[in-house]
Amino acid sequence: MAALRRKFGEDYQVVNTNRASTFSAPVKKKRQRFVDKNGRCNVQHGNLGGETSRYLSDLFTTLVDLKWRWNLLIFILTYTIAWLVMASMWWIIAYIRGDLNHGHDSSYTPCVANVYNFPSAFLFFIETEATIGYGYRYITEKCPEGIILFLFQSLLGSIVDAFLIGCMFIKMSQPKKRAETLMFSQDAVISQRDGKLCLMFRVGNLRNSHMVSAQIRCKLIKSRQTPEGEFLPLDQCELDVGFGTGADQLFLVSPLTICHEINPKSPFFDLSQRSLMNEQFEIVVILEGIVETTGMTCQARTSYTEDEVLWGHRFLPVMSLEEGFFRVDYSQFHSTFEVPTPPYSVKEHEEKNSLPSPLSTPTPALAEHHGGRRDRVFSVDCINSSEEGSRQGGGGGRLPSKLQRMSSSGKEDLQRKVLLLSSQHSEKACSTGDLPLKLQRLSSSPSPVTQNRLQLKSLKVGFEPMTQSTGDLYQRSPTTGLPSTPIPMHSPLLSAGGRPEDNLPAKLRKMNADR
């Protein structure tokens, strides 16, 4: 076995192929957390060097931040040493004056009455410091040094009391313990809410006293590398939990579910169910508010690693309506249940939706069908480009040469135009001003014969009713794009023998015959 491990490495393991034995999957090594579930930060400061003196410059905060056992030890030692030092000073005064030798002499006036050894000096200091005043030991007027020491003792005792008692009071009233009654769910979940993929977790308040101005923030702790190659360990990124909408301001009376919408601005934009198994990150949640009873600011913290984020889960409801009040069942506070959730990321979902769908592309047949329903009115010059191409291909010889020369003149106003009207009426119309000049004179003559000759006749082809003037002298070619629908029986073309030349005036027929 040792030889095999030397050959294949330390990770070499022997797998038992016995079918009776059960296979156990390798346990994933627990990753070091940046912030514990109870909110404690796993950061230790080392190699401070000469910077330790900064702690003594802020001695009060240093004492408050110490643990309780060190605070109690400092408290006891400070008072004990101060009492012993002051008692020794009173004993020294009595020793220098010789009061210890005349302790029981009634005719002698000492500095402090009834102080004739160190224990009696110590008791005198305690009675003076604690303002007990039994009346048996007291300072006489013939001891000025004792009076000065008494004043110094009073000032020093007040300073020590204010410092130590104030330190203990601040430490006892710290709102850190208030955070113990603020709950966070054990796991965070990812599921859909209002049609959007969201990261959610739950917070609750166990006390009836409220958290005033409660606000919640989230930080994503994840190592990354910049495009320049710089490695950023434990880089912090803000997670939006409703800062723009005010959803981060909480009214924490009952348990609330905090929601982070996963959108293109979210760091989880490309996070899917599969990639979640390979990610390494930590979400730090910070809840801040003012304690209603003390008015002090409280902060509660927790964190969620990638193993504590459940994809496709949702929290169970804990609120129920009772008779006259609402009940919160905290036994279901951490419970979740599975819901249908897409396994892909929001980025993949948006890319999938951005691809063109074959159903959304209109086919040419449908486009021709819908376009054929529009009604158009044509004059001599309202001829589209397809008709012009067909006429050039062989149908243009049906026009008289004189009209061809007139229509091919270089004037801009004789160009063929199609006027689009509103889609509601869906009509196209051209005025007689687009006609050649000779035909305009014919149409402007007051003769009733001329008006009859220039009368517009309707021609309905398929679904497309059209109006043609006398200048529309040629029959539409099948290549113009119009459907080959038989002409109705009431059409004037059929009544005149089926030839468009038969409906022309005599003068135009003569010109066509000469050609």
pLDDT, tens digit, 9 for 90 and up, residues 43-65: 988 887 777 788 888 888 888 88
pLDDT in tens, 350-381: 998 887 755 555 544 444 444 444 444 334 34
Q: How would residue 31 be classed by pLDDT, with cut points 50, 70 and 90?
A: confident
Q: Which of 82-86, 130-134, 441-445 has the highest mean pLDDT?
A: 82-86
Tokens read off for 311 = 């994809």
3-state secondary structure at position 484: coil
Statement: residue 391 has pLDDT above 60: no
Lowest mean pLDDT among 149-153, 337-341, 408-412: 408-412
Nearest-CA neighbor of 461 among 425, 491, 438? 491
Q: What is the pLDDT of residue 101?
A: 80
Q: Distance between CA 461 and CA 119 in Å, rounded?
A: 131
Q: What is the pLDDT of residue 29?
A: 62
The structure's pTM equals 0.57
Statement: residue 26 has pLDDT above 60: no
Nearest-CA neighbor of 395 among 333, 480, 460? 480
Q: What is the pLDDT of residue 49?
A: 77
Amino acid identity of residue 308, one-letter, is E
- Percent of the chain clearing pLDDT 90 (strictly above): 35
Question: How many contiguous H segments (helices) and E segments (strands) does the chain have?
Answer: 15, 16
Q: Distance between CA 116 and CA 98 in Å, rounded?
A: 9
340 CB-near residues (< 8 Å, 6+ apart): 312
Q: How would residue 451 be classed by pLDDT, with cut points 50, 70 and 90?
A: very low
Q: Is there a contact between 458 and 377 (Cβ–Cβ < 8 Å)?
A: no
Query: What distance, in Å, lies between the first and last C-alpha atoms of the chain?
Result: 111
Statement: residue 90 has pLDDT above 80: yes
pLDDT in tens, 238-296: 999 998 899 999 999 999 999 999 999 999 999 999 999 999 999 999 999 999 888 88
Tokens read off for 381 = 């010059």
Nearest-CA neighbor of 279 among 270, 288, 289, 287? 270
Statement: residue 455 has pLDDT above 80: no
Lowest mean pLDDT among 48-52, 69-73, 87-91, 115-119: 48-52
Q: Distance between CA 383 and CA 378 in Å, rounded?
A: 7
Statement: residue 491 has pLDDT above 70: no
pLDDT in tens, 418-430: 344 444 443 333 3
Q: What is the pLDDT of residue 16?
A: 40
Q: Cβ–Cβ contacts within 10 Å for residue 186, how many?
A: 15
What are the chain's domains? 62-174 (1.10.287.70), 177-352 (2.60.40.1400)
Q: Count of residues for the chain?
A: 515
Amino acid identity of residue 258, one-letter, is I
Amino acid identity of residue 61, one-letter, is T
Read off the pLDDT of each residue in 161-177 and give the average, rounded to a whole number.
86
Q: Distance between CA 313 and CA 498 in Å, rounded?
A: 77
Read off the pLDDT of each residue in 184-194 and give the average, rounded to a whole number.
95
Query: Beta partners for 465?
Result: 460
Angstrom distances, CA of residue 285 to CA of 216, 302, 393: 7, 5, 78
Read off the pLDDT of each residue in 180-208 and give the average, rounded to a whole number.
94
Q: How would residue 32 be classed by pLDDT, with cut points 50, 70 and 90?
A: confident
Nearest-CA neighbor of 297 among 310, 307, 313, 286? 286
Statement: residue 102 has pLDDT above 60: yes
Q: Angle CA(17)–CA(23)–CA(29) in degrees, nearest 5?
A: 125
